[in-house]
Amino acid sequence: MTRTIFVCCGTGCIANGSLAVADALRAALDETATAYGQGKAAATAGQAERREAAATAGIQVEALVKQTGCNGFCENGPIVKIMPDDISYYKVKPQDAAEIIDSLDKAPVERLLYKDRDGRSLRSQKENPFYAQQMKIVLRNIGEIDPAEIDDYLARGGYAALKKALAMQPAEIIAEVEKSGLRGRGGAGFPTGSKWRIAASYDDFPKYVVMNGDEGDPGAFMDRSILEGDPHCVLEGLAICALAVGAEQGFFYIRDEYGLALHQVQKAIADAGKAGILGNAIMGSEKKLHLEVVRGGGAFVCGESTALMASIEGRPGEPRAKYIRSVQRGLWDKPTVLNNVETLANIPFLILEGGAKFAEKGTANSKGTKVFALVGKVKRTGLIEVPMGVSLRHLIFDIGGGLLSDRPFKAVQTGGPSGGCIPAELLDLPVDFDTLTEKGAMMGSGGMIVMDDRDCMVEMARYYVNFLCGESCGKCTPCREGLRQLRNILTDITEGRGEPEDLQLMEEICDTMRDASLCALGKSAPNPVMTTLRYFREEYESHIRDKTCPAGHCPKLTAFRIDTDKCTGCGRCAGACPGGAISGAIKSPYRIDGSKCLACGVCRDLCRFEAAIAEKAGYEA
Amino acid sequence: MIIHIDGKACVCEKGEYLLHVAAQNGIFIPRFCHHPGLPGQACCRVCLVEVETEAGGERQVVSSCVYPVEREMQVYTNSDKIKKQRRMVLSLLSARAPDSGRTAALLKSAGGSLPERFTRLAGEKCILCGLCAKACESVGTAAISVAGRGTDKKISTPFALPPDACIGCASCAAVCPTEVIAYVEDGGTRTIWGRSFQLKYCETCGDMLGTEEEVAHAANKAGGEPARLCPACRKKTIAGALGKPFARG
Ligand SMILES: Cc1cc2nc3c(=O)[nH]c(=O)nc-3n(C[C@H](O)[C@H](O)[C@H](O)COP(=O)(O)O)c2cc1C
Ligand code: SF4
Ligand code: FES
């Protein structure tokens, strides 16, 4: 049987050494071939030749190693998947390679399989609770193809949608996208079909299409994974968009730090050009399309549409007033469609299967699926795709497996710096554009950070405000100066200098930022502050009135002590304490020297007996 | 077309900016970063107004300096909401630039006062409207620019050194709404941005022509010899040479 061994080579798995795993697997295959009498020559030939040589020698173990994009379950990487047996291995090391190759016609390597809660080994991704409850449209090819091989994409039906679109009228394409109900995945949720229709309506050429791959939201990696794992899909989406609106030039704006994504997209453009899919005659038709990669300017604000366009034009990445929209006057004052990576990745499926089929998934006003980066204090972190409208509880507890160490859930932060915190009472909310916005948060691009009772909500707000202080453009007063004052007030609160009037003052600042800021960064920057004030006001009040941080997180307000009744004297904390504050003898209770304690909380995180306890600072044992 | 600003009917052209329409009709909207010769800054956010494009519909807060009139509408320059937002914007600016008298004065006239709780940037006068950099760019020298981003944004010269490209024309100082950019003229020299420039005077009447570099720069741009006379004297000379006594001072 011909097998394919897929080695996940997304950024996460590469960081865990997956490239070495792929090499080791290839070497192990070579060795098998050599063992069957192919001699040294086989080892120096290309993999395809080796495979053929092995096949003619009648080798049973015929396999091909392929490097794929991100499988989403990064913390368990490197991930190796064997098809068509459908066996997935996790945390694979190069030294496991020989055993994996050796097992191909035998039973799977038990110790590399994923174990569920009851310790049962799961062979297939389909049995794994992390994957089983997902619905993949955008991510359907990722992990199944080598993103650097256009033939892999073609073999899975790639570019069939573009071919279909070439036979359609632009208005028909747009009608299909409108029928699907697809809304932009970049954050604002603007209906994609309407955007295309407006851009198509102007008789002002040249027009431009642009992909937004700036993804500046800390903790988010959806777009990066799509670009790394299935670049042709996004390229096909952008090409269909260009056909629909009448553009002959397109740009991929990609964050400069995304080296692998930049590489894959550049290769995809070159390969599609060579294959006659792009260029002066799209698939042999009379339509033209030229695509170019632009490296992002760096700051979070560069993801904002007008700042992004300024950056492509070679000007500083600063927004402009948007009273005339980019679909009318965008790049070089010409009609321009800007769409997010994930939005575009939906297009090939939507055109092939039809808008009506797409619209069957999701909720009334939010159709299709959404990709989320689930991170934070949750058991299974990673990249997941689910239909719109599933509950936060389902995402966090069923797919994510609940909180680490089964600690109490406190909040989930959605939408990054423009989003907000959603408390436990709202866990059953369906996740869609409108519901999250109504609750003061935002879908954003799809980042989801799960927090437990040891995370401080005031600190969370301060973190994002501080982030934006450095990542906004700083052009307009409400945003720049509002953020500055918010940061100072929030820092004061977390350090015990808060004043009772601060909460109202912050609300007033936020109100002005929302109304008066120039761009959507400043208008949405108050969300982390406003949602925590709305759902966790008492936590602010404790910081201000009682000078305590209930989560035991803010170092200036917290001290740690060891409960001598609970301490078993294991010594784990003492070794890890960065301040060297913990002393004691093995098997008898340890103690913390308050004068050395940095209140970092490492001891509390490490202690398996709940013996390290956070107290209000100033506590004396 | 006709729009209504604070109830007053104002005639205007499609595409005209609200701030301009208001000014034409004698309605003053406070602002800092708008300069008719250097439009489009839209960053101070003092010029906010509310617009209502459908009777009884939702009102939108916009910056009047860049908001183009596209249809008939009601504009409110002094609604409670605008007054409140303007006070906050001016408070934020006053905290940023506590040494700017104009900012403080505008805050006071808007009925606001700087909250004690706001952190002040001691000694700062600049409100970062960016007009100076824009003026410098339009002169064609770009010796100063807006550098950095976020809360660290500032007006700066390259490497924070006296700028080589500067021609001492003081256009930046002329457009600065808060009168921050200082220059000194003393005994035939002008000192600005840490550099001193020789001043040049009209050979006939003695009026100041500008700095040597500025006069040379203008000549370079126009293609010709650096001026030695002020425009008025030059006109008189040309007129005299032609023998037609129509020239007027
Ligand atoms: C501060 C800021 C940052 C943004 N960053 C991104 C981004 O990284 N990626 C993205 O696709 N959209 C981002 N957006 C949204 C874009 O402005 C724009 O709405 C989007 O790219 C449009 O594509 P869509 O309709 O397909 O979502 C950002 C918006 C703001 C205000
Ligand atoms: S809101 Fe913030 S990011 Fe947007 S223009 Fe103003 S300062 Fe720049
Ligand atoms: S004058 Fe309009 S924003 Fe400054």
Please say which residue of A546, A564, A587 terminates a domain: A546
| CB nearest to B45's CB, from A473, A476, A505 | A476
Q: What order of strands is seen across the sheet that includes strand B48-52?
A: B8-11, B2-5, B74-76, B48-52, B60-63
Task: Return d(Cα A388, Cα A369) in angstroms, integer.
Answer: 5
Q: Would the CB of B45 count as within 6 Å of ligand 3? A: yes
Helix (H, G, I), strand (E, B) or coil at B53: coil
Chain B residue at shortest CA distance from A472: B150
Please check whether residue A139 lies inside any domain of the structure.
no
CATH of the domain at A578: 3.30.70.20
A236 and A280 in a common domain:
yes
A281 close contact with B: CB closer than 8 A: no
Residue pair A9/A19 in contact by the 8 Å Cβ criterion: yes
Please check whether residue A101 lies inside any domain of the structure.
yes
Task: Return d(Cα A95, Cα A21) in angstroms, integer.
Answer: 8
User: What is the B31 CA–ligand 3 centroid distance (Å)?
Assistant: 5
A122 and A155 in a common domain:
no
Q: What is the DSSP string of A307-361?
A: HHHHHHTTS-S-----SS-TTTS-GGGS-EEEEEHHHHHHHHHHHHH-HHHHHTS
A189 and A337 in a common domain:
yes
Please check whether residue A364 lies inside any domain of the structure.
no
Domain range enclosing A581: 555-616
Q: Measured from the CA of B44, which atom of ligand 3 is nearest?
A: 4
Report strand pairing: A249-254 vs A290-295: parallel
Tokens of B84: 């409140």
Please state, in angstroms and as integers, the Cα–Cα distance from residue A460 to each residue in A420, A451, B174, following that order: 10, 10, 44
Give Cβ neighbours of residue A65 (< 8 Å, ≥ 6 apart): A4, A5, A7, A22, A25, A26, A29, A47
A448 and A462 in a common domain:
no
Q: Measured from the CA of A480, which atom of ligand 2 is nearest?
A: 7
Decide if A469 and B150 are in contact by the 8 Å CB cutoff: yes
**At residue A489, what are phi and psi to the nearest 5 degrees?**
-65, -45
Spans of all domains in chain B: 2-109, 131-242
Q: Would the CB of A518 count as within 6 Å of ligand 2? A: yes
A386 and A321 in a common domain:
no
Please write the tens of the pLDDT for every residue from B141-159.
Answer: 899 999 999 999 999 999 8
Q: Would the CB of A326 count as within 6 Å of ligand 2? A: no
B60 close contact with A: CB closer than 8 A: no
Please say which residue of A93, A128, A163 terminates a domain: A128
A240 and A293 in a common domain:
yes
CATH of the domain at A85: 3.40.30.10
What residues 473-502 of chain A have any CB closer than 8 A to a CB of chain B? 473-478, 480-485, 487-489, 499, 501-502
B45 close contact with A: CB closer than 8 A: yes
- Model-wide pTM > 0.80: yes
Please check whether residue A257 lies inside any domain of the structure.
yes
Task: Return d(Cα A226, Cα A208) in angstroms, integer.
Answer: 22
Task: Name the fold adopted by B2-109.
Answer: Ubiquitin-like (UB roll) (3.10.20)
pLDDT at B247: 42
pLDDT at A278: 93
Give Cβ neighbours of residue A180 (< 8 Å, ≥ 6 apart): A193, A346, A350, A355, A356, A358, A359, A367, A368
The answer to whether the bond into A84 is cis (omega within 30° of 0) is: yes
**How many structural domains does chain A have?**
5
Closest residue to atom 6 of ligand 2, CA basis: A476
Give Cβ neighbours of residue B60 (< 8 Å, ≥ 6 apart): B50, B51, B52, B53
CATH of the domain at A344: 3.40.50.11540
Please check whether residue A341 lies inside any domain of the structure.
yes
Chain A residue at shortest CA distance from B89: A478
Give the DSSP H/E element, type plus range, for residue B192: strand B189-192
A582 and A540 in a common domain:
no
A463 and A349 in a common domain:
no
Beta-bridge mates of residue A613? A561
Residue pair B181/B132 in contact by the 8 Å Cβ criterion: yes
User: What is the B66 CA–ligand 3 centroid distance (Å)?
Assistant: 8
Q: For all residues of chain B together, what is the average pLDDT?
A: 92
Residue pair A184/A339 in contact by the 8 Å Cβ criterion: yes
Please check whether residue A606 lies inside any domain of the structure.
yes
Amino acid identity, residue B154? K
Task: Identify the burial level of B172 via C-beta atoms within 10 angstroms of its C-beta, where 0-12 means exposed, 13-18 middle and 19 or more buried.
Answer: buried
A192 and A337 in a common domain:
yes
pLDDT at A45: 56
pLDDT at A117: 80
CATH of the domain at A537: 1.20.1440.230
Q: Would the CB of A91 count as within 6 Å of ligand 2? A: no
How many Å lie between the alpha carbon of A481 and the closest alpha carbon of chain B? 6
Task: Return d(Cα A177, Cα A173) in angstroms, integer.
Answer: 6
Please say which residue of A327, A359, A391 terminates a domain: A359
Closest CA to A549 of A490, A464, A488: A490
pLDDT at A52: 64
What residues 449-478 of chain A have any CB closer than 8 A to a CB of chain B? 468-478
Please write the tens of the pLDDT for every residue from B76-123.
Answer: 999 999 999 999 999 999 999 999 999 999 999 999 999 999 999 999
Q: What order of strands is seen across the sheet that includes strand A420-423?
A: A382-387, A369-376, A447-452, A409-414, A420-423
Please check whether residue A136 lies inside any domain of the structure.
no
Please check whether residue A144 lies inside any domain of the structure.
no
Residue pair B138/B38 in contact by the 8 Å Cβ criterion: yes
Helix (H, G, I), strand (E, B) or coil at A371: strand
| CB nearest to B66's CB, from A323, A470, A478 | A323
Q: Which residue intervals of A370-501 are DSSP H helices? A: 392-393, 433-438, 457-471, 477-494
Closest residue to atom 25 of ligand 1, CA basis: A184
Decide if A477 and B119 are in contact by the 8 Å CB cutoff: no
A246 and A122 in a common domain:
no
Chain B residue at shortest CA distance from A480: B151
pLDDT at A33: 67
* Contacts across the A-B interface (CB distance below 8 Å): 111
Task: Using 50 as the pLDDT threshold, list the residues of chain A that sit under it.
Answer: 37, 39-43, 59-61, 619-621
